[in-house]
């Protein structure tokens, strides 16, 4: 008899999260109403039966401070790099000379409004020869925090803010920080295995790692999404467009691909959510008539294990191959098209520039070894940085 009069539990679900729309259920904690059992009221001969009310809330929101800190750090490092570059001292002509020591290299040398390649190398850019021959493996990490120019910095930082803040709010600074750094390392590693003639810098690999993490988070937490296919389609379109930009010259798409692949696998490891049934049962067990439910679904655990094995094995194999001087282009003759597709409008030649120099008094004649162009310059005691800058402009 007591079982028949037992009040029913009413669960109210707040769904606030989604890609573009609030369409995801994120249960985490339960909050009882101030009056869980409403007082019985009588109207004539009718009596309202008291019923408890409980609400399962969405997952805790974290305060995002790490991603903004990354943006500040990258911006400060760019200013420091431009200060070290000192264009007026080391280059014949500069852009935005009103900035003084912070002025940019000529457009022909650096169209992104930034420093010279020699300055970036000095600051810690990824240079495969230095990693392999001089054992400077730290460049695989330091290059993530450097940028080739103002345009490069603005594009990466805007993407990082848009993607990273949302993820940090949902999963916290530890998981997103690890995802960002490890993905950046993975991007640098793949870049070094394919692009061994030029230096590489930028946070693009780490940013693509966050995009990859978003995709795997959607897959592994599939059951908590309401508009699953719409969210998946939107995210895939965004990823495809961003990767397509990588086929343009002067863009390191191998860093994008390496970062995305690393982030995609790490998303299964770091961004897995408990299933809704386990969370709801945890807080309503006293009223539940069903058996206990597992915290994670079987497919989540399988993806977690496979991804962890793949990312660890891939990182170790890639690092060992790099330190042994392996060039993956020797094993894949068409892979270079994934980073740049040559057209009638641009060339994908990434060979380092070099020039032959002849001096007659203050007259210097440079001949580009790459394309045969020559130029004559009147210089008063130029330093090596000025000569390299003029050579770079001549060969481009």
Region 352-381: what's the mean pLDDT? 74
CA distances from 58 to 78, 271, 339 (A): 39, 15, 41
Cα gap 55→29, rounded to integer Å = 8
Cα gap 390→92, rounded to integer Å = 8
Closest CA to 26 of 55, 64, 69: 55
CA distances from 5 to 49, 82, 210, 345 (A): 9, 76, 52, 79
Q: What is the number of H-type helices and E-type strands within the chain?
A: 13, 10
Confidence category of residue 95, pLDDT binned at 50, 70, 90: very high
Confidence category of residue 41, pLDDT binned at 50, 70, 90: very low
The residue assigned the tokens 């000192």 is 86
Q: What is the four-CA torsion angle of 382, 386, 388, 389, rounded to 10 degrees?
A: -150
* CB-based contact 112:150 (threshold 8 Å): yes
* SS3 of 168-184: HHHHCHHHHHHHHHHHH
Q: 150: which 2 tokens?
A: 């103002």
Region 88-98: what's the mean pLDDT? 88
Q: For the segment 201-256, what is each residue's pLDDT rounded down to a tens digit?
A: 999 999 999 999 999 999 998 877 778 888 888 888 988 888 888 777 778 899 99
Confidence category of residue 347, pLDDT binned at 50, 70, 90: low
Average pLDDT, the chain: 80
Domain boundaries, the chain: 65-275+296-339, 355-395
- The CATH class given to the 65-275+296-339 domain equals mainly alpha
Lowest mean pLDDT among 42-46, 189-193, 325-329, 366-370: 42-46
First vs last C-alpha separation in the chain: 89
For residue 191, give every residue at least 6 positions away whose Cβ sits within 8 Å of its Cβ, in sequence order, or none: 126, 200, 205, 252, 254, 255, 258
Lowest mean pLDDT among 60-64, 127-131, 189-193, 311-315: 60-64
Cα gap 102→80, rounded to integer Å = 9
Q: Estimate the crossing angle of helix 66-85 against helix 173-194, to 10 degrees.
A: 40
The residue assigned the tokens 């230096």 is 199
Region 119-130: what's the mean pLDDT? 94
Phi, psi of 56 (to 5 degrees): -95, 115
Enclosing H/E stretch for 364: strand 363-368
What's residue 54's pLDDT? Answer: 39
Cα 307 → chain centroid: 18
CA dihedral over 215, 221, 226, 228, signed as positive or negative: positive
Q: How many CA atoms lie within 13 A of 128 on its CB side?
A: 20
134 pLDDT more than 80: yes
Question: What is this structure's pTM?
Answer: 0.78
Beta bridge partners of 363: 360, 378
What's residue 336's pLDDT? Answer: 83
Closest CA to 347 of 371, 372, 374: 371
Lowest mean pLDDT among 10-14, 43-47, 73-77: 10-14
* CB-based contact 220:268 (threshold 8 Å): yes
* CB-based contact 120:188 (threshold 8 Å): no
Q: 29: which 2 tokens?
A: 């904690």
Region 3-16: what's the mean pLDDT? 42
What's residue 55's pLDDT? Answer: 37
Q: 4: which 2 tokens?
A: 């028949």
Confidence category of residue 56, pLDDT binned at 50, 70, 90: very low
Higher pLDDT, 143 or 297: 143
Q: 371: which 2 tokens?
A: 């394309």
Q: What is the DSSP letter of 144?
A: G
Q: For the segment 254-293, what is each residue's pLDDT rounded down to a tens digit?
A: 999 999 999 999 999 999 988 766 656 665 554 455 566 7
135 pLDDT more than 70: yes
Region 67-76: what's the mean pLDDT? 97
Confidence category of residue 39, pLDDT binned at 50, 70, 90: very low
Q: Which residues are catalytic?
A: 204, 256
CA distances from 308 to 207, 222, 234, 266, 311 (A): 20, 19, 26, 7, 5
Closest CA to 21 of 239, 172, 233: 233
Share of the chain above pLDDT 90, in %: 46
Q: For the segment 12-34, what is each residue's pLDDT rounded down to a tens digit?
A: 434 344 444 444 434 443 344 44
What's residue 276's pLDDT? Answer: 65
Region 377-392: what's the mean pLDDT? 72
Rg over CA atoms, the chain: 28
Share of the chain above pLDDT 70, in %: 76
């Amino acid at each position: 008899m007591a079982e028949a009069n037992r009040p029913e539990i009413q669960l109210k679900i707040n769904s606030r999260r989604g890609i573009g729309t609030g369409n995801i259920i994120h249960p985490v904690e339960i909050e009882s109403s101030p009056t869980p059992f409403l007082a019985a009221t009588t109207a004539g001969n009718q009596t309202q039966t008291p019923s408890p009310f409980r609400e399962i809330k969405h997952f805790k929101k974290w305060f995002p401070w790490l991603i903004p800190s990354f943006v500040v750090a990258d911006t400060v490092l760019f200013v420091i790099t431009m200060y070290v570059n000192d264009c007026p001292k080391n280059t014949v002509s500069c852009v935005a000379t009103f900035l003084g020591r912070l002025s940019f290299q000529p457009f022909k040398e650096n169209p992104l409004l930034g420093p010279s390649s020699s300055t970036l190398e000095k600051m810690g850019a990824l240079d495969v020869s230095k990693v392999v021959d001089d054992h400077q493996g730290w460049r695989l990490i330091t290059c993530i925090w450097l940028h080739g120019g103002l345009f490069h910095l603005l594009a990466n930082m805007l993407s990082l803010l848009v993607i990273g803040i949302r993820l940090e709010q949902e999963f916290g600074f530890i998981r997103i920080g690890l995802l960002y750094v490890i993905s950046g390392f993975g991007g640098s590693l793949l870049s070094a295995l394919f692009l061994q003639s030029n230096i590489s810098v930028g946070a693009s690999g780490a940013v693509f790692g966050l995009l990859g993490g978003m995709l795997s988070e959607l897959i592994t937490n599939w059951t908590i999404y309401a508009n699953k296919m719409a969210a998946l389609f939107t995210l895939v379109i965004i990823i495809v467009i961003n990767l397509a930009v990588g086929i343009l010259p002067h863009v390191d798409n191998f860093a994008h691909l390496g970062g995305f692949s690393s982030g995609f696998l790490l998303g299964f490891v770091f961004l897995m959510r408990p299933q809704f049934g386990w969370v709801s049962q945890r807080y309503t067990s006293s009223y539940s008539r069903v058996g206990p439910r597992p915290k994670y679904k079987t497919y989540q655990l399988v993806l977690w294990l496979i991804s962890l094995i793949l990312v660890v094995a891939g990182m170790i194999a890639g690092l060992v191959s790099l330190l042994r001087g392996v060039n993956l282009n020797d094993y894949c003759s068409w892979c270079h098209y994934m980073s740049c597709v040559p057209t009638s409008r641009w060339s994908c030649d990434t060979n380092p520039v070099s020039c032959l120099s002849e001096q007659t008094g203050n007259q210097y004649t440079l001949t580009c070894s790459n394309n045969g162009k020559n130029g004559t310059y009147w210089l008063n005691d130029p330093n090596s940085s000025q000569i390299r800058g003029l050579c770079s402009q001549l060969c481009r």
